[in-house]
Structure 1
Amino acid sequence: MKSPVKALSLFDSTCIIVGIIIGAGIYETTPMVAVCMGGWGGTMAAWLAGGLLALCGALCYAELATTYPSQGGDYVYLSRAYGPWAGFLFGWSQLAVIRPGDIALMAFVFARYASTLYAPVPNMGTFYAVGAVAVLTVINILGVRESKWTQNALTVVKAAGLLFIVAVGLAAPGAAHVPASGSITGGGLKLAMILVLFTYGGWNEMAYVAAEIRNPQKNIVRALVFGTVAVATLYLLANGAFLHALGYAGMAGSEAVAVDVVATRMPGVAARLIAVIICISALGAVNGLIFTGARISYALGTGHKVFQGLGKWHPKLGTPMAALALQGLLSMVIVLVAGSFVDTILYSAPAVWLFFLATGLSLFRLRKKEASIPRPFKAPLYPVVPILFCAACVFMLFSSASYAFAEKPVGLLALLSVMAASALFWRKADGTHFGS
């Protein structure tokens, strides 16, 4: 086996999407979103709007992924829309900055909560984070079957854990009545949507493994839509349960909203139980990010000689072993260097939204440039859906870049330096330069 095989079912594909989206964001961001939106009505509206925008993005990616069902996702779309340099820039940025940063982010979350459960010596957090990345990378190297079974199990458990919290919250005595809405400032709305869209991140991951999905013309669309809608439903249920159990004021003032909800019924074990659920949730996100991210590096290696070592599929294990190993190593380096998951967000977020925007715009360009290519699925309500998605990307790009510049300018400059360095690799890879 020297190339990808179609080993992923609809259930496997959906578990990858759901498993990556539901990390720790729903447990961390909900109180601040409530504060920003000024009441329960605004809070629920923000999460509904985030789900609809994520669905718009998923529908755009569904068209691109079914039209070009190859490994690499955005790498393929950007290369075809703008030229090889664009795909190269995306692949290089994912390899050097974005994907290792995303993996490290979720590893930090796992480590933080694992340390509350067992920390026999100081600085166990770093050990837990590095260990999680190392173990899950090895599992992914051993085979696609092992990877998807691990992902499916973690996703089912994390979804069950979130549903358990929802059930406890809805069963709790209702909190005192609060106004449906309060004052909402422009800055508050901006911050709320940044947090909400960050928490919905990951709905596009299925595009990176399109070549490994059975019946891709149907299952890619189903997985993207089912996964995104399922998560949006869970998020709305979770926020409804939080508001019912704690009330708006209690939710907005909570430092550990899920713990506070479970404590209404199970005060003695709430903190440790939630820590276990969040650990499993974070591990599911780490495993999914490792699985899909290596396929981007593999695609980069198949298209450019300078990275040809990454473009090899292990003949016996049936996985992109070199791409997985390098990705794991870089992720562990970021864990050791970044120091916290907040630093990691600031490090990679602007690049993430820049490429989301470029991919959204590529849908318009490819419909004209390659109009003769059959499109098994087309984004509905064109051009409204892709325009909404691109508008959200512009908002997030500006917001994340301005915030990173204000809070962590060194990290933003490092990001720009890494992306600029791709020009040197581009010349070495193709003997040419940007724009040629």
Structure 2
Amino acid sequence: MSSHQPQRHLHSLHAMLLALGMIMSTDALKTAPTIVASIGHWHFLGLWVAGAAISVVGGLSYVEMAAAFPDAGGEYSFIRRAWGERVGTLYAWSRFAIMHTGWVALMAHLAADYIGAPLGLGAGGRLVLSVGLVAAMTGLNLAHVRLGFLTQALLVLAVALGFISVILAGIVVPAAPIMPDAPRPGMGGIAVALIYIFLAYGGWSDAATLSAEVRSGRRGMFIAVIGSIGLLGLIYVALNWALMRGLGESALAHSVAPAADLARMAFGWPGQALVVAVVGISAVASINSTIIVCARTTYAAARDHPGLGALAHWHPTRGAPTRAALAVGGVSLVLTLLSALTGSGFNAMVDYMTPVYWLFIGMGMAAAIRLRIMHPTLPRPVRTPLFPLFPAIFIALAAYMLYASFVQLGLGAVFGAGVLALGAGLDFLLRRRAQAYAK
């Protein structure tokens, strides 16, 4: 195990840009049609505002824990402290085998599809492009920590400018006619809409992995987490307002690429080309940030697990967990290849990841309460307002979303739960093996 540790080298603004990159991606453009199809225009923007507000509520609890327990493992370290090393290891496995590596594969295919279409690439060419993107981003994170972080900040700025261009397109085109009021959707439709909205906001909990590398811990983590969620909320609300205004409810619900359609209406083919570029850049940014986060979670779990010590290596000159990053990149490549063979698309990956995400978000919020009880005298530079009301509200939401994911989504949700159970079995075998060697 390496004796080298993370260093506090990130300024607050840089950390906020990194956190924003962990949350922001063009999956928001992909989710808008599904959300409109589920609820119509009934409170369409209101649910996006609610998603940002609820994410801020959750973010406040995570800022408190990150300031009190700074660690490169982020959410993993909170869950492990509160619920024990077995649960912590299961969390790390879920990120390694389901959430983070699956997201990298999803974004790689999304980028390859958008970039490959105007180039006339077939399925084989797009697969080569998607694999190349994963390999390139893995190599970038193996090079040096500052190179990976600087690249992420520049990519986030480019994506934000691209989103602004889509918002401008919604202002330029004539407003689509407003449809007559439709019947209000049932709870099933609202649940599906929330699943996709929280998918778009998902990732704010990953910002806690920066807690051991951000300068001025209290101020830095608050700016990184809450600032990134607030800024993203403004972008998403404006973006979806532009899509609804420019395309209208019916066209938006049936659009495969709504932002590209809107940009073409406003600016012709150059606008469409711009959106394709934004989607490609956003996917690359999302892949990069996910590898950054997953490598740190894997490093932290390996540091604590008796059978995974080889991955607990923080490179002394590159300033990054290089072995963990290589492992994450390898699994991501495998998932990229397998998903290409099976033909599973965006919605299938949502099914696969959603229940696991909400299970551990709920446990993370419960950890905020439990750690207050376990360490009542520990200094907390940041305290959650109205504690324990905020985390309790989020726990209730997570429980409902976990239930809704199994009821409303497909077999992918069950498959994701099965992979999580497989992780529990592997953890048991590794611990037994380590105990046998110790004897």
TM norm structure 2: 0.92
Match of 1:380 among 385, 397, 404: 385
Q: Output the CA distance in 2 between the equivalents of 1:103 and 1:122.
A: 18
CA pair 302-53 structure 1, distance change in 2 beyond 3 A: same
Shift of 1:205: 1.5
CA pair 361-426 structure 1, distance change in 2 beyond 3 A: farther
The answer to whether the Cα contact below 8 Å between 2:356 and 2:417 also exists between their aligned partners in 1 is no
Shift of 1:72: 0.2
Mapping of residues 405-424 of structure 1, within 5 Å: 406=411, 409-410=414-415, 412-424=417-429
2:27 corresponds to: 25
Q: Output the CA distance in 1 between the equivalents of 2:365 and 2:416.
A: 26
Structure 2 residue 406 is the aligned partner of structure 1 residue 401: yes
**Which stretch of the first structure deviates more once superposed, 278-287 or 72-81?**
72-81
Q: Specify the code of the residue in structure 2 equivalent to 1:9.
A: H
CA pair 408-125 structure 1, distance change in 2 beyond 3 A: farther
CA pair 52-290 structure 1, distance change in 2 beyond 3 A: same
Shift of 1:241: 1.2
CA pair 20-181 structure 1, distance change in 2 beyond 3 A: farther
CA pair 410-97 structure 1, distance change in 2 beyond 3 A: closer
**Which stretch of the first structure deviates more once superposed, 86-95 or 148-157?**
86-95
How many residues are aligned here?
431
Shift of 1:324: 0.5
Shift of 1:154: 0.5
Structure 1 unaligned segments of length 5 or more: list them.
Answer: 432-436
2:397 corresponds to: 392
Q: Output the CA distance in 2 between the equivalents of 1:225 and 1:363.
A: 17
Q: Output the CA distance in 2 between the equivalents of 1:117 and 1:244.
A: 27
Mapping of residues 193-342 of structure 1, within 5 Å: 193-339=194-340, 340-342=344-346
Q: Output the CA distance in 1 between the equivalents of 2:6 and 2:243.
A: 43
Shift of 1:360: 0.7
Shift of 1:17: 1.8
Which SS does the other structure have where 1:109 is aligned?
helix
Structure 2 residue 372 is the aligned partner of structure 1 residue 367: yes
Shift of 1:254: 2.5
Mapping of residues 65-76 of structure 1, within 5 Å: 65-76=66-77
1:358 corresponds to: 363
1:434 corresponds to: none
2:142 corresponds to: 141
1:35 corresponds to: 37
Q: For residues 78-132 of structure 1, what are the alpha-carbon distances to aligned partners after superposition, in whole Å with 9 as ceiling and x for unaligned?
A: 1211222222221233223332112212112112212213244542222122111
Shift of 1:400: 2.5
**Which stretch of the first structure deviates more once superposed, 243-252 or 219-228?**
243-252
Mapping of residues 86-235 of structure 1, within 5 Å: 86-179=87-180, 182-235=183-236
The answer to whether the Cα contact below 8 Å between 1:405 and 1:412 also exists between their aligned partners in 2 is no
Which SS does the other structure have where 2:161 is aligned?
helix
The answer to whether the Cα contact below 8 Å between 2:22 and 2:207 also exists between their aligned partners in 1 is no
Shift of 1:151: 0.2
The answer to whether the Cα contact below 8 Å between 1:75 and 1:90 also exists between their aligned partners in 2 is yes
CA pair 410-389 structure 1, distance change in 2 beyond 3 A: closer
Q: Specify the code of the residue in structure 2 equivalent to 1:95.
A: F
CA pair 11-119 structure 1, distance change in 2 beyond 3 A: farther
Q: Output the CA distance in 1 between the equivalents of 2:409 and 2:427.
A: 21
Structure 2 unaligned segments of length 5 or more: list them.
Answer: none
The answer to whether the Cα contact below 8 Å between 2:299 and 2:312 also exists between their aligned partners in 1 is yes
CA pair 90-29 structure 1, distance change in 2 beyond 3 A: same
Which SS does the other structure have where 1:6 is aligned?
coil
CA pair 329-164 structure 1, distance change in 2 beyond 3 A: same
**Which stretch of the first structure deviates more once superposed, 210-219 or 112-121?**
112-121
**Which stretch of the first structure deviates more once superposed, 241-250 or 359-368?**
241-250
CA pair 121-261 structure 1, distance change in 2 beyond 3 A: closer
Which SS does the other structure have where 1:335 is aligned?
helix
Q: Output the CA distance in 1 between the equivalents of 2:378 and 2:18.
A: 28
Match of 2:17 among 15, 18, 29: 15
The answer to whether the Cα contact below 8 Å between 1:93 and 1:419 also exists between their aligned partners in 2 is no
Q: Output the CA distance in 2 between the equivalents of 1:2 and 1:227.
A: 29
Q: For residues 326-382 of structure 1, what are the alpha-carbon distances to aligned partners after superposition, in whole Å with 9 as ceiling and x for unaligned?
A: 110001001111233434333333222211111110111111111111111111122
Which SS does the other structure have where 2:71 is aligned?
coil
Shift of 1:162: 0.1
Q: Output the CA distance in 2 between the equivalents of 1:180 and 1:266.
A: 31
Structure 2 residue 52 is the aligned partner of structure 1 residue 51: yes
Q: Output the CA distance in 2 between the equivalents of 1:409 and 1:81.
A: 27
Q: Output the CA distance in 1 between the equivalents of 2:261 and 2:121.
A: 26
Which SS does the other structure have where 1:69 is aligned?
coil
Q: Output the CA distance in 2 between the equivalents of 1:26 and 1:334.
A: 22
CA pair 77-409 structure 1, distance change in 2 beyond 3 A: closer
Q: Output the CA distance in 1 between the equivalents of 2:408 and 2:253.
A: 23
**Which stretch of the first structure deviates more once superposed, 209-218 or 179-188?**
179-188
CA pair 31-52 structure 1, distance change in 2 beyond 3 A: same
The answer to whether the Cα contact below 8 Å between 1:115 and 1:125 also exists between their aligned partners in 2 is yes
The answer to whether the Cα contact below 8 Å between 1:8 and 1:212 also exists between their aligned partners in 2 is yes
